[in-house]
Amino acid sequence: MSKGGRRHAEGRGSAEPLKLERLDEYRWMLPRTGAMRVPGMIYSDEKLLQTVRMDQSPRQVANVAHLPGILKYSLAMPDMHWGYGFPIGGVAATDIETGVISPGGVGYDINCGCRLMRTDLELGDLEGKLEDLASNLFSNIPCGVGGTGTIKLSRREELRVMVEGAGWAVKNGYGEEEDLERTEERGAMSGADPSAVSERAILRGKAQLGTLGSGNHFLEIDLVDEIYDETAAMAFGLVRGAVAVMIHSGSRGFGYQVCDDHLRTMGKAVSKYGLNLPDRQLASAPVSSPEGEAYFAAMACAANYAWANRQCLMHWTRETIERTLRVSPAKLNLRLVYDVCHNIAKKETHVVDGEKRRVCVHRKGATRAFPANHPELPDCYRQVGQPVLIPGDMGTCSYVLVGGGKAMEETWGSTCHGAGRLRSRSQSRRMTDSSKLLKELRSKGIVIRARGKSTLAEEAPDAYKDVDRVVNVVHEVGISRKVAKLRPLCVIKG
């Protein structure tokens, strides 16, 4: 069994059977039992729920409901599946004064997220050039497990990246100032403190800035295939038939090490603060405690590293497209639509029982989805709402959504983050013929570049849930609304 598998098998909480109560077509409640402080709420349709019942993620929803200071519900999005402590797709808010912060509610790949760029290119501009473009992107965008990039940070510069995030990249020539306006938190969370980061994490981050990584991380050339909301699409700069680019990556080994370091500290904090938790993977500390503040400060450093990482990747992608297609910057007109993070804990203001309160929102495999007129949105999207990016997998479509009003009422301004896995990576490797899969994808007109056959097998389309169904759930509930569908043309994988 893998290291991750051992972790998952160690603690699953109470063996008491769970009973789901259907509230409507897309909402399912886990009533409070035992020491649960709040009920659980799962967003799903009936077919997706059948896959949810196959793993321990509903039990994890119940376990999260035991966290001190948790408010309203322990939530799970329709792409939910088994994770470390929290389910992937889990959302929970805790009171800043009385609640805890849990690294399991963020995950190992801190600020794994998506960045979408629009262009003025059309499909005809890629005719006869897609294979070359794929090869050049694969050569110019460092990827793979442990991959290193061309940026070699000094210690001083790496500390600046931790604090300045995407702003550091822009200052150093990797992008434009307007990119920051279209990045969540303007690409840099406040509260980042490099003194909370270990030497081991700093060492791991020195050579990985500007690298894609492996697993489900990717760079895609997409075609805007469908438009559902013309007003929002126009605000986002998306036109049917135009080429778009999506990057999915995170904080690399730096973020992993930050999580690992602070999980050990949190494990000791559970006893120190007398926390009674059903699963040791939910190791936590009070938000305002020294341990809680240190984790938040280090997590913010990793989040900022990830935003800088995606900013650099976007810059090299733009340069590669211009050179390969021999188009001018004006002809390409590649501009950032938005950059959202999927794994994060944020201190935000929300309405609780009719009063505004500061809460710590854990989004683990979930996306922020603020609606129109939210004060934290940039001026360019204030009237329509925040762009929400939902990647599918390399053989199916991705979606662009916009934050819906129900998100603020029900889910702490959150929605789903992707299709969600059906099978583990090891299961998918055993069940998938990579050569056959590659032929199938090519028959659909999708050009693939990957480091190895194992990556292709792990990321096979049938290893994931139906992204159309997942998106339909959040659209129908109203926590986010469909704006556009993107069809993959070219996929770069680690």
Smallest Cα–Cα separation from 294: which of 302, 165, 63?
Answer: 302
In degrees rounded to 5, what are phi and psi of residue 448?
-120, 140
Cα dihedral 366/369/375/376 (nearest 10): 40
Predicted local distance difference test score (pLDDT) of residue 4: 39
Predicted local distance difference test score (pLDDT) of residue 146: 60
Answer whether 406's CB lies under 8 Å from 477's CB: yes
Answer whether 66's CB lies under 8 Å from 26's CB: no
Which stretches in the chain have pLDDT values below 70?
1-16, 144-149
Q: What angle do CA 352, 357, 359 make, to 5 degrees?
A: 95
Cα–Cα dist 23/173, whole Å: 52
Q: How many CB atoms lie within 10 A of CB 126?
A: 21
Cα–Cα dist 357/5, whole Å: 38
Predicted local distance difference test score (pLDDT) of residue 457: 83
Catalytic residue at 374?
Answer: no
pTM: 0.94
Cα–Cα dist 313/117, whole Å: 12
Predicted local distance difference test score (pLDDT) of residue 235: 98
Residue with tokens 């994060």: 344
Q: Tell me the DSSP string of 270-300.
A: HHHTT---S-GGG--EETTSHHHHHHHHHHH
Predicted local distance difference test score (pLDDT) of residue 7: 38
List of residues 6+ apart from 258 with CB closer than 8 A:
110, 197, 198, 201, 251, 298, 299, 301, 302
Predicted local distance difference test score (pLDDT) of residue 14: 52
Catalytic residue among 66, 262, 374, 417: 417
Cα–Cα dist 202/155, whole Å: 8
Predicted local distance difference test score (pLDDT) of residue 142: 81
Answer whether 137's CB lies under 8 Å from 219's CB: yes
- Domains of the chain plus CATH, in order, are 3-96+113-493 (3.90.1860.10)
Question: What token pair was written down for 172?
Answer: 């150093």
Predicted local distance difference test score (pLDDT) of residue 362: 98
Q: How many CA atoms lie within 13 A of 412 on its CB side?
A: 30
DSSP-based three-state secondary structure for 212: coil
